[in-house]
Amino acid sequence: MLATLIGFLGDFDLAEEATQEAFAVAAERWPRDGIPSNPGVWLVTTARNRAIDRIRRDRTLAAKTRLLEIPEATEDSVDDATFPDERLELLFTCCHPALAIDAQVALTLRTLGGLTTPEIARAFLVPEPTMAQRLVRAKRKIKAAGVPFRVPPDHLLPDRLAAVLAVVYLIFNEGYGGRGELAAEAIRLGRALAELMPDEPEVHGLLAMMLLHDARREARFRDGELVLLAEQDPALWDAAQIADGRLVLGRALALRGRGPYVLQAAIASLHADEPRDWPQIAALYGELSRLTDSPVVELSRAVAVAEADGPEAALDIVDTLDLDDYHYLHATRGELLSRLGRTAGASEAYRRALALARDDAERRLLQRRLAALRE
Amino acid sequence: MKYMLLIHQGDAPTPRDPEAWAKLSEDEQKAVYADYMAINRTEGVSPGVQLDEPETATTVRVADGKTLTTDGPFAELKEAIGGFMFFEADDLDAAIELAARIPAARLGGAIEVRPVLEP
């Protein structure tokens, strides 16, 4: 509903205010007059009419005359009218690269996720006024700078779709660290996107990857402590969601998808098998690494290589990586060195990881690893 | 919408610095001229003027009624504005596409796209 109104009005604030007014009118009238046969259309029409009234009242917005030329529909005679689904346009506007990434994420959660400003502030651990300010600034920039409300044309689409997927993935990752409502929200956005852009393999790839990772949520923590994948209890995995994720992955592969999200989904799918096909996982990480040129992906490949070819081969990869500030690099080195029986090197590596890790659960996990070395 | 495109020259070589300019091949030099010509002829573009090197700038401030002048541009030399143009466009995407065609953007400079306030 909000997407339709923003598309129509070209103004986030006006659309939000009009939506609130329409709900208020509904709360007053529906109990008295009965619920209209198409409540959604009724709400959009009412909100639209309220917005037009407001524009008429507000001389500073009189420039938007195009809106005033549209004949006004009466609120109770439009039950068969349809309004376009403009969620996709809204998503591309919220994720426009002219906005800072923080603002893209917040705006997407606010307008498409329907989260309130205090909820978003809590989820990202920032004070509420900061988040409110971020949203105000983003909405103002969209309006002032002329950020278009549309699905980008073909020549811009690949880059811009990547930006949208990155925002959804970022929301999911925030949730993966423990704030489950954000992960669920990201999956909802991913589903909407897959429905709206059914021919884009990466869209399905991202959704599949999120479903497959999220299916292991219950197994990732035991009594508040982080449990590594290798030590998770598969009985705690959500089998139905894994099946769903694999179905979505199948769709991505049928579209000949071989992009970063499809590859990550394929890897997540292999991780849900018992026993795991480590050579295949390592090969997929190799493909992903070539695509992304990311040392973090190389680190993951090293972990798979350790299982497929042994810790020595993995250590050769790890020691070429320029990731000195990344605690997972040192945690991985610690693990590999400990398997090779090089205890002194291992505890040194764990200690460096500890100095860099910020998350409490991660820190406790590292302390347990370090303590295990001394036994 | 009307936008002002501010061209920050950065490290982008210009003919005003013959030594740096000579580092571009003849084809690259020709491409720079051709691109600026094509941009100036693009519908909606009102070419601005080219500014002399930032080293020639004088910055003026007034404090307690006293005029203070300093040598050089307000911003860092590298960040100083080298030129500008106006562009009448449908939306920000069109302005970003035009900005990306300005040679300075690919040669080490940057373009700032600013909406112009309509009266």
Give A187's contacts (C-beta < 8 A, 6+ positions apart). Answer: A172, A207, A210, A211, A214
Give the pLDDT confidence of A106-162 residue by residue, as tens digits: 999 999 888 889 988 887 888 999 999 999 999 999 999 999 999 999 999 989 999
Q: Pick the residue of A66, A143, A147 with the most B CBs within 10 A to test the interface with B by mutation.
A: A147
Closest-CA residue of B relative to A63 is B118
Report if residue A12 sits inside a domain.
yes
Using the CB atoms, write b or e for A290-321: b if 16+ within 10 Å: eeeeebebbbbbbbbbbbbeebeebbebbeeb
Give the pLDDT confidence of A227-260 residue by residue, as tens digits: 888 888 889 999 999 999 999 999 999 999 999 9
B111/chain A closest Cα distance in angstroms: 13
Give the pLDDT confidence of A164-223 residue by residue, as tens digits: 999 999 899 887 666 678 889 999 999 999 999 999 999 999 999 999 999 998 888 888
Give B38's contacts (C-beta < 8 A, 6+ positions apart). Answer: B101
Segment A290-311 mean pLDDT: 95
Closest-CA residue of A relative to B115 is A145
d(CA A327, CA A353): 4
Using the CB atoms, write b or e for A32-55: b if 16+ within 10 Å: eeeebeeeebbbbbbbbbbbbeeb
A:89-128 residues touching chain B, CB 8 A cutoff = 96, 98
Closest CA to A294 of A285, A305, A303, A306: A285
Within 8 A of A64 by CB-CB distance, chain B residues are none
Q: Which residue has the tokens 């600013």?
A: B114
What's the structural domain count of chain A?
1
d(CA A129, CA A118): 9
Widest Cα–Cα separation across chain A? 80
Report if residue A37 sits inside a domain.
yes
d(CA A219, CA A237): 6
B112/chain A closest Cα distance in angstroms: 11
The length of chain B is 119
Report if residue A45 sits inside a domain.
yes
Give the pLDDT confidence of B17-51 residue by residue, as tens digits: 889 899 999 999 999 999 999 999 999 999 988 88
Q: Which of B91, B113, B115 sits opposite A148 (nearest CB)?
A: B91
Residues of chain A with pLDDT > 90: what percent? 60
Report if residue A13 sits inside a domain.
yes
Structural domains of chain B, with CATH: 2-115 (3.30.70.1060)
**B119 part of contact set with chain A, CB < 8 Å:** no
Within 8 A of B95 by CB-CB distance, chain A residues are 146
Q: Which residue has the tokens 């479903």?
A: A211
Report if residue A352 sits inside a domain.
no
